[in-house]
A and B are shown apart, each in its own frame.
Chain A
Amino acid sequence: MAGNAGVMSRALAIEARGLVKRFDGFTAVDGVDLAVPEGAVYGILGPNGAGKTTTLRMLLGIIDPDAGYRRILGSERPHDVARAIGYLPEERGLYPAMKATEAIAFVGALRGLPLREGRRRARKLLEEYGLGYAADRQIRQLSKGMAQQVQILGTLVHRPRLVMLDEPFSGLDALNQGKLEKMIRGLAAEGTTVIFSTHVIAHAERLCDDVAIIAGGKVPFAGSVDLARDRIPAQVRLETRAVAGDWVHALPSSVRREGRFWHFPLPDTGVEPLLRTLIASDAGILSLSIERAGLHDAFVAIAGEAAARSLAADEGGEERK
């Protein structure tokens, strides 16, 4: 996993500053900054309706921002580098009457790949991903998951330098999610920049070097996965024989008890002073573990704070009115 310092030192595949998009008076994206290094696997995390898709659409030039700056593969006009980009939209779309091979080749043709070469590569890709038997089947004859895989292959057929995937795991079963994770790792190994949005944090935790968390159209956090996890203090999980005694007052005020278990954030001074007190007062320590926060916890905390701030700002605005 690359740290934020690494991000700064590498050339950027995507750079966005202060992106704003409003729809009918509603600000869907409100000053988003992004810096995606070349060759990185970058996750855009956020709850539904946070502004992930709108951000991706602005980066791709499908819609223009109302304010802000974007630069994709060195160009401020995304369509000018369209041949080097692959995109999987959130709302999957294929022509139902088209054969799988033709569908992949057509998406390649839109990105400048000659149709004949597209067909050749499509067959090869389908074989590689275990879908060779479906090459001549119409999309309407495929299952939803298979059709989605066909579309993912269409995203890659022209060998893009930058792949943007909007919620790529949704609609796939666990097996195919695993295949897609493997595919993303393969792309990264070859130096392709992959940026994907998701609200399922586990995928991002396994795949991403860096993430941006979007909530309420803003980016409250952008940086490495480690940095995000460090925003949440490690959690102490203590098991004691006794559940009452003077020693309880030595536990941090935010402690939460579940039976014999006590949960609390790791104090700044470490756990050793507390342990001494517990031993001295015969609390009967049965087990003790210190768990580092996962990306999921970090996401909930960061996005939750952002949503609360946004809600407070909204309510403040209403009151002022």
Chain B
Amino acid sequence: MTGLQGGKSGRLSRLSAAYVVARRDFMAILFSRSFLFFLLGPLFPIVVASFAGGVGAQLRDTVDRPQLGAAMTDKDVTAMLNARAELAKTLGDIVPKVVVLRRLAPGESYDPAQALAGGRRDIGAVLTGSLDRPVLTGTKERIEDWRGPVALIAASAVGGVARPLPEVTLQSMATSTASERTGQLLTAQAAQTLLFLLTMLLAGMVLSNLVEEKGNKVIEILAAAIPMDAVFLGKLFAMLAISFVGIAVWGSAAGVFVMSADSGLAAMAEPAVGWPAMIVLGVVYFAMAYLLLGSVFLALGSLATTVREVQTLSMPATMMQLLVFFLASFAMMQPGSAAETAAVVFPFSSPYAMVARAAQQPGLGQHLLAIGWQSLCVMAIVRAGSQLFRRRVMKSGPARGGGLRVFRRKRQTELPESAH
């Protein structure tokens, strides 16, 4: 034996210890074949999200369909309402629902742009002018969509659909409250879905990682050398770092796709906090959602002794997370409601609810508060999980009474071997 003396006392700080574990896990996963599968993983959520997006859009169209606001003379408005009602009998929702914004006195003027900017959120475009010369004001996409139906309603209001359709004058404006809200809702929904799917994928991976650790018995070496919460933190952050590599790869691909599209990000509804803040918050909330769920999964993993037990224990956690996602999705549609407040405060739904808020409500202060709250919860769960691990897992020896039986048996079978 040479050179094995002189070790200094002391211990690694929790962060340094967590870093040692995280570095090992990160490198091990990064250079494993499973990382390739992890990179391919998002293909699955994309397919699911496309499907969910289709269903969501259908739902949104039903629940939150923008309406055509009319600001015309009393006679024209009445004729428009009647004509729309008649047409709707055969064409259904193809013809937009008409709501009266104002019945104008002869010669009275009306500013449709102002109505769209500060008025009702459900108005998609405003119809002014007369039945012969209708003027449609709204976002470019909306007024082009509605040009035909509006001409049809106007012609029908004048004397029947057999008449030549009047020329509809289009007045385009950047956005309307309704289309902005719809767009923001879409952004919020996309952000929530992405967050949820990535989180579930990662939390499952971190659980497998811990189970593998218990399987190959390294866990006791870790537990003897460093505090257990440092082990948990290291494992959580390693997987988070892996996910950032994945996000970087997929984010770059998505970025190239978006930028190469006709109008890039400008074509999408801008989130209430703006795109730069939205992206940063999206990443932070993803990290928080993952850390929260991952820490629960780690705690569950530490309680289990077999892979089967892990699967049994993780099932309720997965179900709970689905419920949490549904709560956050439901809350998103009802800003300011008690359900939304509950979703914001409950730690496991908080990241989803807050990312939806970022898309729909301006202001960053609330996000700082939420991130602080979520971080506290992560620390508390990691701490509780590591305590459980120390209490429940690291035990050895026989059950009560068995010790004596084992001892008697061992005296007969093992002790003679020691005589040599």
| Contacts from A to B (Cβ < 8 Å) | 23-26, 28, 47-51, 53-54, 57, 60-64, 73, 75, 79-85, 87, 89-98, 106-107, 109-112, 121, 124, 128, 154, 156, 158-161, 183, 186-187, 189-192, 199-202, 215-217, 294, 296, 299-300, 303-304, 307, 310-311, 314
What is the CA–CA distance of A169 and B227 in the complex, to the nearest angstrom?
Answer: 28
What is the CA–CA distance of A274 and B57 in the complex, to the nearest angstrom?
Answer: 106
B163 beta carbon closer than 8 Å to chain A: no
Q: Inside 8 A of B414's CB, which chain A residues have their CB? A: 47-48, 199
Stretch of B4-12, B73-81, B97-105 on the interface side: B4-12
B399 beta carbon closer than 8 Å to chain A: yes
By the criterion CB–CB under 8 Å, are B218 and A49 in contact?
no
Please tell me which one of the listed residues B216, B394, B399, B410 contacts residue A96 in the complex, with CB atoms under 8 A apart: B216
Q: Inside 8 A of A158's CB, which chain B residues have their CB? A: 7
Stretch of B39-47, B249-257, B291-299, B401-409 on the interface side: B401-409
Please tell me which one of the listed residues A54, A80, A89, A91 contacts residue B397 in the complex, with CB atoms under 8 A apart: A54
Q: Interface residues of B, CB < 8 Å — how many?
A: 55
What is the CA–CA distance of A307 and B409 in the complex, to the nearest angstrom?
Answer: 12
Please tell me which one of the listed residues A25, A47, A92 contacts residue B410 in the complex, with CB atoms under 8 A apart: A47
By the criterion CB–CB under 8 Å, are B9 and A73 in contact?
yes
By the criterion CB–CB under 8 Å, are A54 and B395 in contact?
yes
B223 beta carbon closer than 8 Å to chain A: yes
Further pairs besides A82-B224, A94-B218: 4, Cβ < 8 Å: A84-B8, A110-B17, A190-B4, A202-B418
By the criterion CB–CB under 8 Å, are A28 and B20 in contact?
no
By the criterion CB–CB under 8 Å, are B217 and A93 in contact?
yes
Query: Interface readout for B1-30 with A: 1 if CB under 8 Å, 0 if not?
Result: 111111111111000110011001000100
By the criterion CB–CB under 8 Å, are B2 and A112 in contact?
no
Please tell me which one of the listed residues B9, B216, B418 contacts residue A93 in the complex, with CB atoms under 8 A apart: B216
Asked, given contacts A83-B11, A187-B1, whether A110 binds B397 with beta carbons under 8 Å apart, the answer is no
Please tell me which one of the listed residues B28, B221, B395, B420 contacts residue A110 in the complex, with CB atoms under 8 A apart: B221
The 12 listed contacts between A and B (C-beta, < 8 Å) are A50-B397, A80-B9, A81-B9, A87-B221, A91-B220, A93-B220, A107-B225, A112-B16, A159-B4, A159-B7, A202-B420, A294-B419
Asked, given contacts A23-B397, A112-B10, A300-B415, whether A183 binds B1 with beta carbons under 8 Å apart, the answer is yes
Query: Interface readout for B202-243 with A: 1 if CB under 8 Å, 0 if not?
Result: 000000000000001111111111110000000000000000
By the criterion CB–CB under 8 Å, are A110 and B226 in contact?
yes
B62 beta carbon closer than 8 Å to chain A: no
What is the CA–CA distance of A82 and B223 in the complex, to the nearest angstrom?
Answer: 11
Asked, given contacts A23-B397, A159-B7, whether A47 binds B219 with beta carbons under 8 Å apart, the answer is no
Smallest CB-CB separation from B25: which chain A residue? Answer: A95
Q: Inside 8 A of B12's CB, which chain A residues have their CB? A: 82-83, 110-112
Q: Inside 8 A of A111's CB, which chain B residues have their CB? A: 7, 12, 225
Q: Inside 8 A of B216's CB, which chain A residues have their CB? A: 93-96
Q: Inside 8 A of B90's CB, which chain A residues have their CB? A: none
CB distance from A10 to the nearest CB of B (A): 18
Q: Inside 8 A of A53's CB, which chain B residues have their CB? A: 396-397
Q: Inside 8 A of B420's CB, which chain A residues have their CB? A: 202
What is the CA–CA distance of A106 and B225 in the complex, to the nearest angstrom?
Answer: 11
By the criterion CB–CB under 8 Å, are B224 and A60 in contact?
yes
B417 beta carbon closer than 8 Å to chain A: yes
Asked, given contacts A25-B400, A28-B397, A307-B407, whether A109 binds B20 with beta carbons under 8 Å apart, the answer is yes
By the criterion CB–CB under 8 Å, are A47 and B4 in contact?
no
By the criterion CB–CB under 8 Å, are B395 and A28 in contact?
yes
B383 beta carbon closer than 8 Å to chain A: no
CB distance from A317 to the nearest CB of B (A): 11
Q: Inside 8 A of A63's CB, which chain B residues have their CB? A: 390-391, 394-395
By the criterion CB–CB under 8 Å, are A112 and B11 in contact?
yes
What is the CA–CA distance of A294 and B219 in the complex, to the nearest angstrom?
Answer: 38
By the criterion CB–CB under 8 Å, are A79 and B226 in contact?
yes
Q: Inside 8 A of B225's CB, which chain A residues have their CB? A: 82, 87, 107, 110-111
Q: Inside 8 A of A128's CB, which chain B residues have their CB? A: 2
Q: Inside 8 A of B224's CB, which chain A residues have their CB? A: 57, 60-62, 82, 85, 87, 89
Please tell me which one of the listed residues A60, A106, A200, A307 contacts residue B404 in the complex, with CB atoms under 8 A apart: A307
By the criterion CB–CB under 8 Å, are A92 and B9 in contact?
no
B411 beta carbon closer than 8 Å to chain A: yes
What is the CA–CA distance of A257 and B8 in the complex, to the nearest angstrom?
Answer: 59
B114 beta carbon closer than 8 Å to chain A: no
Q: Inside 8 A of A311's CB, which chain B residues have their CB? A: 404
What is the CA–CA distance of A28 and B297 in the complex, to the nearest angstrom?
Answer: 29
CB distance from B355 to the nearest CB of A (A): 36
What is the CA–CA distance of A297 and B113 in the complex, to the nearest angstrom?
Answer: 101
- CB contact list, B126-152 vs A, under 8 A: none
What is the CA–CA distance of A57 and B228 in the complex, to the nearest angstrom?
Answer: 14
Please tell me which one of the listed residues A84, A156, A159, A201 contacts residue B418 in the complex, with CB atoms under 8 A apart: A201
- CB contact list, B37-58 vs A, under 8 A: none
Q: Inside 8 A of B164's CB, which chain A residues have their CB? A: none
CB distance from B336 to the nearest CB of A (A): 48
Q: Inside 8 A of A51's CB, which chain B residues have their CB? A: 397
Please tell me which one of the listed residues A62, A192, A294 contacts residue B223 in the complex, with CB atoms under 8 A apart: A62
CB distance from A309 to the nearest CB of B (A): 11
Q: Inside 8 A of A216's CB, which chain B residues have their CB? A: 403-404, 407
What is the CA–CA distance of A296 and B416 in the complex, to the nearest angstrom?
Answer: 9
By the criterion CB–CB under 8 Å, are A91 and B217 in contact?
yes
Q: Inside 8 A of A112's CB, which chain B residues have their CB? A: 8, 10-12, 16
